[in-house]
Structure 1
Amino acid sequence: MITKLIYNQAEIRQIFEANSWQRKVFNEQATSFRSRSRLFPCTFGVAGFESDQLRYAFSESMNPEEVANALLQYLKDAKSFGKNTSLLVFSRPGPVQSIEHYRSRFWSTLDGIHKCDKTDWPQDIPHEINTPEWEWCFGGEQIFVVCNTPAHVNWQSRRSSSFMLTFQPRWVFNGILDTKESAKKATSKIRNRILNYDLITPSKDLGLYGDPDNREFAQYFLDDHNGEAVCPFHSFLKNNQKEEEVA
């Protein structure tokens, strides 16, 4: 029997007790999505929440293997959930650490999830992370990843009481960011919301996939002060290939 790892809103309310950490972190995020006085910047996320297309998973310590298994379950049926779907993964809240701690934890976790992937990296996606065409992939799918942490203060849209990851399949953006006109319309609405929501101006690292000056990795984990993005690894796959050669 396959253990259920991902949930919709009704299942969370049915399965987890009201005072559980799972319900508390879910309710916090739900409140952000529902607010009409303070509009959450990511319009895709809000639309996904309102139509119950988002799916949620919980991992005590964001164990890479647990998250990989939840992501596999999600991707299996993701297209049936709807156009605005994403997978939100929450960890149990704990003492607040530094931004640098969470940055390191994020990339370490993402690398650990990648190592659990039994599907080959897509041939049309470069191995080199510091390129405009690179994007994190899992199960053969291109996925945009966002990290929220308790240490984010200025970036309120990246703040959460727990270490939290959001996985958004690239196909979600098909038909929305395909042309300059549609992309400008979508991003300008999000940027306007950022100006009213966050305590800091929109990061220069926020860009469109494939643009020559854009780097996807820089958008996954944002500094809380709009600092210069630092490439976390020269390459995920090159490092892994070296490990395999040594083994």
Structure 2
Amino acid sequence: MGRIVAGGRSRLLTREDLAGGACQGWVREAYEAYRAVISDPGFPCYFGTMAEAQGHIRYTWVAGERDLGVLAATLREFVALSRAHPRRRHLLIAFFADMGGLDFAGHERRFWETLRWLRARDSEPWPADVPDDPDDPGWEFCFAGDPMFVFPCIPAYERRHSRRMGDHFLMCFQPRRVFFGTNRDDPGGERIRQRIYDRVRRWDDVPPHPALVELAYGDTEMREWKQYVLPDANVPLAGRCPLHVDRGPS
């Protein structure tokens, strides 16, 4: 943990690091709340439950804007770890310090601002096989050359409990490779997805959002960015991605 990497000091932690006191008190509280949720046998994403039980989840924390450089360095190290173990479902959880009771919209802005910050300071080129336009169905967020699914867990959720992990805002980074076996072109992939959605229906007070259930990665009408921040109600997701870059006239 804590080795120096390009761009800052990495703070890539295991659950043992957190339990051993390698963090501030609020981080331990945030982790314990997260662990209580994801370790519940009824939690919808049993892959996440297994990853926590097997010690495959990594953690970091962001105390403020000055800590974003640490987040970038940690994410680079995490990507290297994931590449070295492609058959393990490694994911990175970043806990964020409280910013004075932000509401849902405030945390949503915080999420997109963090992704914009990371994107602007990524030292690796965008992967050649991933479109860089969020309005392309093949687009997904990339960092350090790795495509990944990213989403926030927001304390202000009232009905979508599967996206609320206690009283702290956090972000989850999932490399695309961890979804092996769950894609529609995988044997049994659709069955696994539907099983998870059935568990979501029992866990949440609102059905799974249509942006998740009706479209999958690779569908021509799918826009992955719409799956990142799901509203608390199943309202349509309109507008364009906050990460959109206006290229101007050609």
Shorter-chain TM-score tier: 0.7 to 0.9
Aligned partners of 2:161, 2:69: CA distance in 1, in Å?
29
Aligned partners of 1:4, 1:143: CA distance in 2, in Å?
19
Where does the alignment leave 5 or more consecutive residues of structure 1 unmatched?
A: 243-247
The one-letter code matched in structure 1 to 2:159 is N
1:128 equivalent to 2:133? Answer: yes
The one-letter code matched in structure 1 to 2:198 is N
Aligned partners of 2:240, 2:101: CA distance in 1, in Å?
22
Q: Secondary structure at the match of 1:87?
A: strand
Aligned partners of 1:108, 1:232: CA distance in 2, in Å?
15
Aligned partners of 1:109, 1:230: CA distance in 2, in Å?
21
1:225 equivalent to 2:233? Answer: yes
> Where in structure 1 do 4 or more consecutive aligned residues deviate above 6 Å?
none
Aligned partners of 1:55, 1:109: CA distance in 2, in Å?
19
The one-letter code matched in structure 1 to 2:51 is G
CA contact (8 A) 2:19 2:28 kept: yes
CA 1:112–1:235: 2 relative to 1, 3 Å: closer
CA deviation profile, 1:166-212 (whole Å, cap 9, x unmatched): 00000111333152652211111110110111110110010321112
Task: Report the more deviating stretch, 50-59 or 125-134.
Answer: 125-134
Q: Secondary structure at the match of 1:15?
A: coil
Q: Secondary structure at the match of 2:20?
A: helix
CA contact (8 A) 1:218 1:231 kept: no
Aligned partners of 2:187, 2:241: CA distance in 1, in Å?
33
Task: Report the more deviating stretch, 182-191 or 109-118.
Answer: 182-191
Aligned partners of 1:183, 1:30: CA distance in 2, in Å?
26
Aligned partners of 2:242, 2:206: CA distance in 1, in Å?
29
Write the mapping of 1:1-247 to structure 2, written as runs, cut at 5 A: 2=4, 3-16=9-22, 20-36=25-41, 39-61=42-64, 63-80=67-84, 83-160=88-165, 161-177=167-183, 179=185, 181-206=187-212, 207-233=215-241, 236=244, 238-239=245-246
The one-letter code matched in structure 2 to 1:66 is V
Aligned partners of 2:163, 2:228: CA distance in 1, in Å?
10
CA 1:21–1:127: 2 relative to 1, 3 Å: same
Q: Percent identity?
A: 25
Aligned partners of 1:230, 1:105: CA distance in 2, in Å?
19
Where does the alignment leave 5 or more consecutive residues of structure 2 unmatched?
A: none
The one-letter code matched in structure 2 to 1:55 is R
CA 1:31–1:234: 2 relative to 1, 3 Å: closer
Aligned partners of 2:44, 2:128: CA distance in 1, in Å?
33
CA 1:88–1:234: 2 relative to 1, 3 Å: closer
Relative to the length of structure 1, the TM-score reads 0.88
The one-letter code matched in structure 1 to 2:68 is P
Aligned partners of 1:139, 1:190: CA distance in 2, in Å?
29
Task: Report the more deviating stretch, 55-64 or 128-137.
Answer: 55-64
The one-letter code matched in structure 2 to 1:202 is P
Please state which structure has a larger fraction of its residues in helix. Answer: 1
CA contact (8 A) 1:127 1:235 kept: no
Aligned partners of 2:108, 2:240: CA distance in 1, in Å?
9
